Chains A and B, each alone.
Chain A
Amino acid sequence: MAELMYREALNQALAEEMERDANVFLIGEEVGRYNGAFKVSQGLLDKFGSARIIDAPISELGFTGMAAGAAMVGLRPVVEMMTWNFAILAMDQIVNNAAKLRHMSGGQLRCPIVFRGPGGAGGRLSSQHSQALEANYAHFPGLKVIAPATPADAKGLLKAAIRDENPVVMIEGERLYAVKGEVPEGEHVVPIGKADVKREGKDVSIITWSRMYYFCEEAAQRLEKEGISVEILDLRTLRPLDEEAILATVRKTNRAVIVEEGWALAGVGASVVDIIQSKAFDELDAPVLRVTGLDVNMSYAANLENATQPDAAKIAAAVKKVLYREGA
């Protein structure tokens, strides 16, 4: 297996799917001649030409809607959002059109399209460029939402998303693009809707996704030294949520901590808690805790930025708390 960066894994998925199906095209700002703002589309213009790798003007609403229109009549667009912060301008087309076309037409239409790009906080960019927005999209019936943590999952989920008959929102980790990992070559498709146990453990379950997985892993390693065995469930797909996997891990460890980069109120983690308390309440040995981004806008100052986000120390503290260990 080749060791690839997250961005390379995505690039590979795009290239393979475009090779496989001529209906697939990529549109977005700077995806062509600039090779992508985060270099995910590196080299694709040379391979596929300007009809299929399309440099769009800075018109998020316009080109997102245009791509949705192309999907309505059978093309399979991949829309690259330079970041999800800017995709807020395109939200109308994603949620009011793409997500609802099938319903409003009584099943006459389908809209096979992928909206993808980096999301997440960090990088000293202050509040407009530094937010985890997946909860916004997980809210809407008619969309699927995926958020891979590893290069292998990034490739496999993007391939699945391109082949899916529905609109899929893919939130990539802006801070994950350079992360390396083993990536299976060729036909590697990760099914949408399936979570993945990234670390087996028996004392407590941490449920998370995307970049937060790495902080959880760091916390788990620290806790292991203290004799605490942590299981990490990487959700990978946020809509639909893998209820079975969530319940299975809770039934195994009887304790859960949910780690979410975004804000707590109306976050995805709140729905995970809802699933656990309504379907596995009797299995719990402690209340479920959440570690989330603080309920504030992101600051530029390094110390404030750090304090705003979850980290391994905060996660470890929450784990100890659900284990009723002192000092937490």
Chain B
Amino acid sequence: MASPYSKELLLTMYRKMYLIRRFEERAGQQYGLGKIAGFCHLYIGQEATAVGAIEAIRPDDYMLSAYRDHGQPLARGADAGMVMAELFGRGTGYSKGKGGSMHIFDIEHHFYGGYGIVGGQIPLAAGMAFASRYRNEDRVTVCYFGDAAANQGAFHETLNMASKWKLPVIYICENNRYGMGTAVGRTSAVPEMYKRAVAYDMRGEPVDGMDCLKMYETVKDAAEYCRAGKGPVLLEANTYRFRGHSMADPATYRSKQEVEEERKNDPIPKIKDYTLKKKLAKEEEFDAIDEEVKAQVDAAVKFADESPEPSLEELWRDTIVEPGEEDVRPRERVLGVKVKWPSYPSGQELKVTWDLEPREQAEKEDKKAGLAR
């Protein structure tokens, strides 16, 4: 049977997943060398979750994540050098070395950040989706978080509001079966996270997060649903991290056997095999991609290593917006590359037409309840 997917799509997915894998491997290495410090949470094993979803949405859709946040921006088109420079704490990083591994932001590619408080980004995502509706834009917001984050109040409070107000947000719970060293079942009364959507009368689905194409299909469908104004979607991507929780974690809480078993599910060879089987590309084409990506990652490490530390004056910048202060992208400030900054539209051109609680309906409900208005 012919593949419903184009060669271009398949190779793009492969390239992005391979980039994340190589990037993370090199990041791990550099951590070992002491070039990267702090917490460094690798994404190895979970690449399909990011790449499948990102290929399924528009480049101008909003996205945000937790602290395991190198993969998504890379898949969205972030500069690998600037991400690596951020991990190195250099002035050329996306946050000029002020964010580090857990706080990658690339607004140019609509990646609105990695966040270090478990579950803290979940309400922000709903707010971004709220803004899209408020402005009559048909963007969706995609928000990543882990299985452990689904036990936070922020998750429950936000899903309730998102569903009630039909916000265009796709929540992707990456269930990698552990929150740090704790297996999901030990802390979660309902370990199948997608089922929690039922409590908020919203759409919830499980998806094989080790399969890029399944992620792609599911997110594509979810995005359509959101754009049609039908409300938010909770997806549970069942995935696995091959490494420890962070570089500091030897992951002794799970068996070698379990990890070996899961490694057989590696999403990267999976998509390669599929493409080869469908005869859409040759082995050599993959080899060429591999070489390009390796060179890209080498260049990223070199760029980061050769970049200067941020100047001490940076301490006093970027905490408060001073009156009249123009926003300057880090790229523009450090590398001298001009990029257009997303504008903050002024009020005049904005007409808010959306109604959260249509007046007529409210009046009807009041009448039914015997209340005057």
Which residue numbers of A lie inside 8 Å of B, CB to CB? Answer: 20-25, 32-33, 49-52, 54-57, 59, 61-75, 77, 92-93, 96-97, 101-110, 112, 141-142, 144, 165-166
| Residue in A65, A73, A104, A166 whose Cβ sees the most chain B Cβ within 10 Å | A73
A106 contacts across to B, CB distance below 8 A: 93-99, 105, 318, 330
* Contact indicator B352/A73 (Cβ below 8 Å): no
* Contact indicator A70/B134 (Cβ below 8 Å): yes
B117 contacts across to A, CB distance below 8 A: 92, 96-97
- Roughly how many angstroms separate A67 CA and B124 CA in the complex, as a whole number? 7
* Contact indicator A104/B126 (Cβ below 8 Å): no
* Contact indicator B157/A57 (Cβ below 8 Å): yes
Q: A62-B154, A106-B96 are in contact. List 12 more A-B contacts (CB 8 A).
A: A23-B345, A51-B355, A65-B124, A69-B128, A69-B130, A73-B132, A75-B135, A102-B321, A106-B318, A108-B105, A108-B106, A165-B323
Q: How many residues of B contact A (CB 8 A)?
A: 68
B198 contacts across to A, CB distance below 8 A: none
The interface-forming segment of B158-166, B224-232, B234-242, B259-267 is B158-166
**Cβ-defined partner of B127 (8 Å) among A49, A61, A67, A112:** A67
* Contact indicator A108/B131 (Cβ below 8 Å): no
* Contact indicator B105/A110 (Cβ below 8 Å): no
B342 contacts across to A, CB distance below 8 A: 74
Judged by DSSP, the binding face of B is loop
Q: Does B252 contact A (CB under 8 A)?
A: no
Task: Sample 13 A-B pairs with CB under 8 A, ordered by A number.
Answer: A49-B352, A51-B353, A63-B161, A68-B127, A69-B129, A73-B62, A74-B343, A75-B135, A97-B121, A106-B105, A108-B106, A108-B327, A144-B320
A71 contacts across to B, CB distance below 8 A: 127
Tell me how far the C-beta of B344 lies from the nearest C-beta in chain A, rounded to whole angstroms.
4
**Among all A-B residue pairs, the 4 with the closest Cβ atoms:** A69-B127, A65-B123, A62-B157, A21-B347
Check A107/B327 contact, CB under 8 A, given A51-B354, A59-B160, A166-B321. yes
Q: Does B107 contact A (CB under 8 A)?
A: yes
B158 contacts across to A, CB distance below 8 A: 59, 62, 65-66
Chain B residues 31 to 86 lying within 8 A of chain A, measured CB to CB, are 62
A57 contacts across to B, CB distance below 8 A: 157, 160-161, 164
Check A109/B107 contact, CB under 8 A, given A50-B357, A69-B130, A73-B131. yes
* Contact indicator A166/B113 (Cβ below 8 Å): no
| Residue in B113, B117, B130 whose Cβ sees the most chain A Cβ within 10 Å | B130
B330 contacts across to A, CB distance below 8 A: 106-108
B116 contacts across to A, CB distance below 8 A: 96
Q: Does B362 contact A (CB under 8 A)?
A: yes
- Roughly how many angstroms separate A32 CA and B356 CA in the complex, as a whole number? 11
* Contact indicator B124/A69 (Cβ below 8 Å): yes
**What number of residue pairs across chains A and B have CB atoms under 8 A from each other?**
192
| Residue in B62, B124, B325, B357 whose Cβ sees the most chain A Cβ within 10 Å | B124
- Roughly how many angstroms separate A294 CA and B358 CA in the complex, as a whole number? 49
Tell me how far the C-beta of A185 lies from the nearest C-beta in chain B, rounded to whole angstroms.
21
A73 contacts across to B, CB distance below 8 A: 62, 112, 128, 131-132
- Roughly how many angstroms separate A75 CA and B131 CA in the complex, as a whole number? 7
A97 contacts across to B, CB distance below 8 A: 115, 117, 120-121, 124
- Roughly how many angstroms separate A121 CA and B318 CA in the complex, as a whole number? 35
* Contact indicator B157/A61 (Cβ below 8 Å): yes
Q: Does B150 contact A (CB under 8 A)?
A: no
A54 contacts across to B, CB distance below 8 A: 356
The chain B residue with its CB closest to the CB of A56 is B161
* Contact indicator B95/A69 (Cβ below 8 Å): no
- Roughly how many angstroms separate A56 CA and B62 CA in the complex, as a whole number? 23
A52 contacts across to B, CB distance below 8 A: 352
- Roughly how many angstroms separate A62 CA and B161 CA in the complex, as a whole number? 8
B248 contacts across to A, CB distance below 8 A: none
Tell me how far the C-beta of A244 lies from the nearest C-beta in chain B, rounded to whole angstroms.
17
A103 contacts across to B, CB distance below 8 A: 95, 98-99, 318-319
